[in-house]
Chain A
Amino acid sequence: MTTDNEVVLEARGIIKTFGNHAALKGVDISFRRGEVHALLGENGAGKSTLIKIVTGAYIPDGGTIHLEGQPVSFATPQQAQSLGIGTVYQEVNLLPNMTVSDNLFIGRQPTSAGIVNRKATDEMAREVLSRYGLDIDVRAELSTYSVAVQQIVAIARAVELSGKVLILDEPTASLDRHEVDKLFQIIRTLKARGLAIVFITHFLDQVFELSDRVTVLRNGSLIGSERIDALNRTSLVRMMLGKDLVQHHHTPVEGQAEGGETLMTVRQLGLTGKVQPIDLEIRKGEVVGVAGLLGSGRTEMARLMFGIDIADSGGLHIDGRERVVRSAREAVDLGFGFCPEDRKADGIFGDLSVRENIVIAMQARLGWFKALNRDEQMEIAGNFIEALDIRTASADLPVKLLSGGNQQKVILARWLATDPRFLILDEPTRGIDVGAHAEIVRMISRLREDGLALVVISSELDEIVSYSSRVVVMRDRTLVAELEGADITPSKIVQSIAGQAGEPVAEVTA
């Protein structure tokens, strides 16, 4: 095997800015023939922006792209596709209502006098799929097949159309182990055929199993691009989370480290395919930090606790009885609150005012017939705007006009207004500027001191370490470690995430 494969696609100094947020700050990357290149990074690291640029969905603000040595620029995905760059997205982007052969050949069906030759199309489709070891009825609708088969059809289509670079965006997210094996087999075959394959995933096992080279992005910057044999799991996790472990001082959270009475016990809570059964005790006046990479099951766990997804095993033991939370409504009635990860999509009502956003959960709790009048709403909203220092010109301003940090506080205020006993915060500081960041962190500590039980999910290890009384670590949809007291350090957390407790913590600077 040659180590110095020919570069097919190369991007240099790619810059992309959205508004005043720099999504990519001059990233270099190159993809080689016959090589599987894993692209890693947490949410917001710039992976998807980079992919969209090399596939023509976005136009970069700076930098150059070279395809087989020639400078190129793509205006549309079709253009990139026709020049040889095929992409398979996470959510299979095919047409479920059409037949497999339509999906493979739409727009390219052989015709005579305008009439599609269906027989020839089907024949071609069968031939193409047989190269992927797939022998299925190509005249059946795509939706009658499993996601794994659809995935293979999507890959076959991309390779047929493009054939130089194949980009796979989280292709394994919804596949089971057996299907993943089959997919990997296909990827290896394609690799042997000389395609450059880009593989985006959150599963480290898969990175080590399949890739030849790894590139890590963080906050829009290139952290490193290495051959896989030069890396181990710990160093990879460290690259992703950006932990310079040399200087770190952790003062364990004082006070109720072991105090606080138990609010509830999570018993064997799980959902097949999403989260392995979890046991966890939640105490009053305590912050349980949840660490783990994206896709490790941390958000899924929170969704189970709040009843957004319904657990199929185990439940919560609260108020002296066992129960499974079956809806967000039930969770609110139990005195739970949940600030979701994707604020804009799942959290705020952008067009409603700050006031309406704050009272909405409380109103939901009161029911249909006990509407809060405007004065009461103003009173409540006013209190929280003051208490949480929400910077808004008026309580009647649409929330979408506020900064990220203030939006986050509005969501927090919404739940605090319902007087909760248990609050789940999923990535509360993502996309928030530094000042507001510190404020949110302070607020979390204050809520803990007020006796609230909190579960906080975060990718920021420093942050987790600073406010957590306990830290649980998730990996591959399983709760793998529970750290307490002096064990709560970024390096211990990184080791748990990487699953290499025995490995010495090398002092690398990222």
Chain B
Amino acid sequence: MNPRYRPLAATTIIFVIAYAICISQYPSMWSTRVLGNFLTDNAFLGIAAVGATFVIISGGIDLSVGAVVGLAGVLVAVLVSQLGVHPVAAFVIVLAISAAFGASMGAAIHFLRVPPFIVTLAGMFMARGLASILTQDSIPIDHDVYRAISGLYYRLPGGGRLSAIGLLMLFVFLVGGIIAHKTRFGSYVYALGGNPTSAALMGVPVARTTIGIYALASFLGGLAGIVYSLYTSSGYPLAAVGMELDAIAAVVIGGTLLTGGYGFIFGTLIGVMLQGLVQTYIVFDGTLSSWWTKIAIGLLLFMFILLQKLVFSAQGRGPRLKRAPA
């Protein structure tokens, strides 16, 4: 097997084993109902994590996603509930603003040569601050379209519901996978993660790609915010605080190398599902504090980082800092 598939295979195997253990303890976890809820409950995280995957494959990091989710939710709520804009129009506006926000972060990263960590940290504060200025409180959204979308689902055999937002997440993963693995833009993203200097020398349009990556990540952050507002029927400025870290965790657990250059969109889906599985298990158990989720995620994350180190150092592919003597 190509070694680049190993982390992905490991994640998938661990997910299957973990799910099997859960079922052996709580046989009722093996139902389309639980699976359907997995997708619905993690839809916003999954969508944002697709964006984070692109960023991390390119060797960057995006800390602003959670704040963009919050801002997008608030913007939609303000537009729909206070200004009476039609939800679909509001969606378009919010997605455009999000993408522009991400594009300007990408431009700052490329043209000002500021590390993405700093730029997106600034972006995080700005987006979160803006959301809080728009409103301090949760704004409920009560609109026919919202009710219609929330009520939309596909009934799975066994009583499970595949909701519209769950389906949207799967669709985003599908499109994300095609962009990453089947387009020139996708190959540029990997190229930047491999070695930005070589990429530039080889004629990869670095500026355009960097801006595109962060625009895409924020666009998906905006979409995740919309999904979150559909999920909660409201917009709240402090929604999804710290979610960017959950997204990064999902990406890394999904087998993407944090230093860039290697990774799969599909792995991130497994990463998100694994987090969802842990949460569901804790709900089924009923006696455990929900913070055990974080501990489990922490352990998983640590394990995967170790695993990646093993896989990549076994092939002598550590960070390329070696300098030949003159």
- Whether A116 contacts B315 in the complex (CB less than 8 A), given A77-B201, A107-B203, comes out as no
CB nearest to A308 among chain B residues: B325
Which of A93, A115, A116 is the one whose CB lies under 8 Å from B198? A93
Q: How many A-B contacts at CB < 8 Å in the complex? A: 90
B115 to chain A, nearest CB (A): 19
Does the CB pair A107–B188 fall under 8 Å?
A: yes
Q: What count of chain A residues pass the 8 Å CB interface test? A: 40
Does the CB pair A111–B203 fall under 8 Å?
A: no
B6 interface contact, C-beta 8 A: no
A173-207 near B? 1/0 per residue, CB < 8 Å: 11000000000000000000000000000000000
Q: Which residues of B contact A75 (CB under 8 A)?
A: none
A303 interface contact, C-beta 8 A: yes
A122 interface contact, C-beta 8 A: no
CB nearest to B199 among chain A residues: A95
Q: Which of A91, A118, A303 has the most CB of B within 10 A?
A: A91
Contacting residues of chain B (169-218) with chain A, CB-CB under 8 angstroms: 178, 182-184, 186-188, 190-191, 193-195, 197-199, 201-205
B262-277 near A? 1/0 per residue, CB < 8 Å: 1000000000000000
- Whether A102 contacts B187 in the complex (CB less than 8 A), given A78-B203, A97-B262, A342-B326, comes out as yes
Q: Which residues of A contact B188 (CB under 8 A)?
A: 106-107
A81 interface contact, C-beta 8 A: yes
Q: What count of chain B residues pass the 8 Å CB interface test? A: 30
Q: Which residues of B contact A36 (CB under 8 A)?
A: none
A294 interface contact, C-beta 8 A: yes
Q: Which residues of B contact A140 (CB under 8 A)?
A: 2
Does the CB pair A294–B262 fall under 8 Å?
A: no
Q: Which residues of A contact B202 (CB under 8 A)?
A: 93-95, 103, 106-107, 157
B102 interface contact, C-beta 8 A: no
- Whether A116 contacts B324 in the complex (CB less than 8 A), given A95-B199, A107-B202, comes out as no
Q: Which residues of B contact A484 (CB under 8 A)?
A: none
Which of A90, A109, A144 is the one whose CB lies under 8 Å from B187? A109
Does the CB pair B326–A95 fall under 8 Å?
A: no
Does the CB pair A299–B195 fall under 8 Å?
A: no
Q: List 15 A-B contacts (CB under 8 A).
A: A78-B203, A93-B198, A97-B194, A97-B262, A98-B191, A102-B190, A106-B188, A115-B182, A116-B184, A116-B186, A118-B182, A143-B317, A144-B315, A309-B325, A342-B326
Interface residues of B (CB under 8 A from A): 2, 4, 178, 182-184, 186-188, 190-191, 193-195, 197-199, 201-205, 261-262, 315, 317, 320, 324-326
Interface residues of A (CB under 8 A from B): 43, 77-78, 81, 89-91, 93-98, 102-103, 106-107, 109, 111, 114-116, 118, 140-141, 143-144, 157, 173-174, 274, 294-295, 299-300, 303, 308-309, 341-342
